[in-house]
Amino acid sequence: MWERKRFLVLHLTDAEAPAWSDEIDGPRMDAWLARRAGPEGWEPNGERVSDASTAREIAVRDGVVTVTDGPFPEFKEWFMGAEWIEASDMDEAVAMLSAHPTARIGRVLVIPALEDQEGK
């Protein structure tokens, strides 16, 4: 059992959101990375997600594998990045992520891990 809770964070694009600003978002990104490296931090694991056109979707139905090329109509927006973070609870995770640049220039989806089961 972990001392702190874990969350999958999906950084999403948002066509309506403002563009990246060095002045506003630069310091926020630096603060995020500093926090991650600090005592309240976690093992760095954030990754940029490639464009939707390079993604693939797999479905197996009655033993038949179907692989679909992106982009996918069900995703209006796409993923900028994905990472795995630790926080004491959802409120803290939300507070941390509201200060992340992608909350301003995109959107951030925070999904808790299921804790009652071993791995997957």
Partner 1 sequence: MTDNTQQYLLLFTDAPDAEPYSQEADDIFDWLEAVADHRIFGERLTGREDARLVTKRQGEVFVTDAPVAEFKEWFSGFDLITASSRDEAVEIGARHPCARFGRVLVLPLMGAIESSALLEQTVQARAKAAAATP
Give contact residues for partner 1 (rule: CB under 8 A).
6, 8, 10, 13-15, 17, 19-20, 22, 25-30, 33, 44-51, 53-61, 65, 67, 71-72, 74, 76-82, 84, 90, 93-94, 97-98, 101, 103-105, 107-114, 117, 119-120
How far is the C-alpha of 18 from the C-alpha of 82, rounded, in Å? 20
How far is the C-alpha of 86 from the C-alpha of 112, rounded, in Å? 10
- Residue closer to partner 1 by CB (options 40, 45) is 45
Minimum separation from the CB atom of position 87 to partner 1 (A): 12
67 Cβ partners below 8 Å, 6+ apart? Answer: 56, 57, 58
- Residue closer to partner 1 by CB (options 39, 61) is 61
